[in-house]
């Protein structure tokens, strides 16, 4: 009996020792990841796996190892870790995100399946809220309506507030730049002004244009302005310096309405030839055009993930499929903010808002780190969104701890970016994912190697600005788009460095109260309840208390 008790005691001590050993290694690995020390975290993770026989926590260890393998650029090792855990243990939601990253398949486009009317913002003619709304812009959770007749902007959101433009001319259009967190308004007198978000400060951006209508901005800070008096589009750098002027209609008179930009392509609607014409931004070369839908004369359009979305008074057409625009009597202009479409209806003096439903959600979060403060867990994360939704505005966000939804408060902080000019590609794998990293490189450096760097670039918080020294592959285009970067020319390298001083990079923080676990606990974040692209990370009482 005494011998049996002695054996049991020794076994218990040994089990406790092994448990403590692999738990210590795991906690240290999580802490190293939390600080962006990926190589150190991976070594500790492998040590933890070699010293555990506890099947309860084994899946968590293998999933975390797969994540670290990806961040280190070891795609095959990550895939093997996922295969191991999937074969031996039950698959968990985190597996879907990691598998999509290893296969580089998250870039698949989800087509529009429905458009639903959400709401209208009404104006009134006498003592009106606004009159003659010609533009609408979306910033965070607020809508901004430009009233051309009264020369002011009205904000609708958590507050309703009116902003005077204080320019002695009639406005022609307004856009919002998410990268610079600024509004741009064009005027009939030939000026374009840049406004701070509360419109308290304005600065003349450019002047002496020929009936300008501001169209859009891109991720390199360029501002695109249609000059209707010259049948041309002028492209300005972030500081108002003219980058390029493209005369589209030298041979005959054309009527054009609006322009949009996506990736390295500029789109402009030609109402004379009834098509959307496409141009390469860097070279100015005209690409293949997109004809108007049959029997539809759209007045404006948007671009969803490279697909032209035609908008007329009563319908919207994408890929040959038509959707009714309910409550719409006319459309003057539009704006697209992720899955929200807003159109201005000047005839009815209102703005209509619609929700665009995709076949499945393609937005997904990536968690950067965890911390404990004031007895609350703070989860730092960012959102990758192929639909170009502003990163300050996560929709349908769900945060779970140990499988239970956490009543999280969501805030965000602005981050400064570290700039790497033409680094060795292997250096990307060593970048600290806790910080924003901007890489200026060449397209030729990535051709043939993109898939190997796909997951590390996204997980290591890298934004790509690629010099167009050759034509990029489709995967290179998608990777630049997913990282919120842009294609530039050699002459724009220094310009991009200066622009990045103004560009805003945002990281979200979800905080919630928690009871610290005994073993391993998990935190997951998803953007849509139906999404299988859920990011999950793990922590222990030991590492979170540090």
pLDDT tens for 105-154 read 776 666 788 899 999 999 876 666 888 999 999 998 899 999 999 999 99
Distance of CA 395 to the CA centre of its chain: 12
Separation between Cα atoms, residue 101 and residue 432, nearest integer Å: 19
pLDDT band at 56 (very low <50, low <70, confident <90, very high): confident
Residue 367 counted as domain residue: yes
Give the pLDDT score at 234: 94
Same domain, 289 and 429: no
Same domain, 133 and 39: no
Same domain, 46 and 162: no
Give the pLDDT score at 1: 45
Same domain, 387 and 328: no
Sheet with 398-401, strands from edge to edge, namely 404-405, 398-401, 520-526, 535-540
Same domain, 335 and 450: no
Report the candidate in 484, 443, 494, 493 with the shortest Cα–Cα distance to residue 218. 484
Domain final position from 303, 324, 358: 358
Residue 7 counted as domain residue: no
Domain final position from 328, 358, 388: 358
Separation between Cα atoms, residue 372 and residue 366, nearest integer Å: 19
Token look-up 């009834």 returns 274
Same domain, 314 and 410: no
Give the pLDDT score at 301: 95
Report the candidate in 485, 362, 489 with the shortest Cα–Cα distance to residue 100. 362
Same domain, 367 and 505: yes
Same domain, 151 and 285: yes
pLDDT tens string 269-297: 988 889 999 998 888 888 889 999 988 88
Same domain, 191 and 257: yes
Q: How many domains does the chain have?
A: 2
Q: Is the pLDDT of residue 390 over 90?
A: no
What percentage of the chain has pLDDT greater than the value 70?
92
Residue 8 counted as domain residue: no
What range defines the domain where residue 78 resides?
Answer: 19-108+362-545
Domain final position from 358, 385, 411: 358
Token look-up 């695109």 returns 224
Here the CATH number for the domain that contains residue 116 is 2.120.10.30
Whole-prediction pTM value?
0.90
pLDDT band at 256 (very low <50, low <70, confident <90, very high): confident
Higher per-residue pLDDT: 341 or 5: 341
Higher per-residue pLDDT: 324 or 246: 324
Residue 416 counted as domain residue: yes
Same domain, 263 and 394: no
């Amino acid at each position: 009996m005494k011998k049996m008790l002695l054996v049991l005691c020794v076994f218990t001590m040994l089990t406790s020792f092994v448990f403590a050993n692999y738990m210590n290694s795991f906690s240290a690995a999580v802490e190293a990841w939390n600080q962006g020390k990926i190589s150190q975290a991976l070594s500790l993770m492998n040590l933890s796996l070699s010293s555990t026989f506890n099947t309860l926590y084994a899946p968590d260890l293998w999933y975390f190892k797969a994540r670290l393998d990806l961040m280190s650029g070891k795609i095959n090792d990550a895939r093997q870790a996922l295969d191991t855990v999937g074969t031996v243990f039950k698959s968990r939601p985190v597996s879907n995100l990691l598998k999509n990253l290893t296969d580089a398949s998250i870039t698949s486009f989800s087509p529009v399946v429905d458009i639903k009317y959400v709401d209208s913002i009404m104006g009134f003619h006498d003592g009106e809220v606004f009159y003659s709304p010609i533009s609408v812009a979306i910033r965070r959770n607020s809508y901004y309506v430009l009233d051309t007749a009264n020369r002011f902007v009205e904000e609708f959101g958590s507050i309703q507030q009116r902003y005077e433009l204080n320019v002695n001319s009639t406005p022609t259009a307004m856009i919002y730049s998410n990268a610079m967190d600024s509004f741009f308004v064009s005027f009939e007198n030939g000026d374009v002004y840049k406004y701070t978000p509360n419109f308290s400060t304005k600065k003349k951006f450019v002047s002496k244009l020929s009936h300008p209508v501001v169209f859009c901005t891109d991720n390199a800070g360029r501002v695109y302005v249609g000059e209707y008096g010259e049948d041309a589009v002028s492209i300005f750098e972030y500081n108002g310096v003219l980058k390029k002027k493209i005369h589209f209609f030298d041979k005959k008179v054309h009527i054009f309405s609006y322009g949009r930009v996506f990736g390295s392509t500029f789109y402009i609607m030609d109402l004379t030839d009834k098509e959307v014409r496409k141009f390469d931004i860097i070279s100015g070369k005209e690409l293949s055009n997109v004809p108007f839908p049959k029997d539809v004369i759209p007045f404006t359009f948007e671009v969803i993930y490279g697909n032209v979305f035609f908008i007329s008074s009563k319908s919207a057409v994408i890929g040959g499929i038509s959707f009714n625009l309910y409550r719409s009597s006319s459309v003057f202009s539009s704006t697209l903010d992720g899955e929200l479409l807003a159109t201005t209806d000047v005839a009815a003096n209102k703005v209509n808002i619609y929700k665009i439903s995709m076949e499945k959600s393609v937005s997904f979060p990536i968690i950067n780190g965890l911390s404990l403060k004031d007895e609350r867990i703070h989860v730092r994360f960012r959102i990758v969104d192929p639909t170009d939704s502003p990163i300050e505005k996560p929709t349908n966000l769900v945060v779970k701890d140990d499988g239970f939804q956490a009543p999280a408060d969501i805030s965000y902080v602005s981050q400064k970016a570290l700039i790497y000019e033409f680094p060795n590609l292997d250096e990307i794998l060593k970048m600290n994912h806790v910080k924003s990293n901007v890489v200026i490189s060449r397209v030729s450096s990535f051709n043939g190697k993109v898939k190997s760097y796909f997951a590390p670039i996204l997980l290591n918080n890298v934004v790509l600005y690629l010099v167009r020294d050759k034509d990029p592959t489709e995967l290179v285009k998608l990777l630049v788009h997913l990282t919120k970067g842009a294609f530039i020319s050699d002459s724009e390298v220094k310009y991009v460095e200066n622009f990045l001083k103004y560009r805003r990079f945002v990281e979200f923080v979800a905080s919630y109260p928690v009871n610290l676990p005994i073993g391993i606990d998990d935190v997951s974040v998803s953007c849509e309840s139906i999404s299988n692209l859920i990011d999950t990370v793990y922590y222990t009482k030991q590492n979170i208390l540090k």
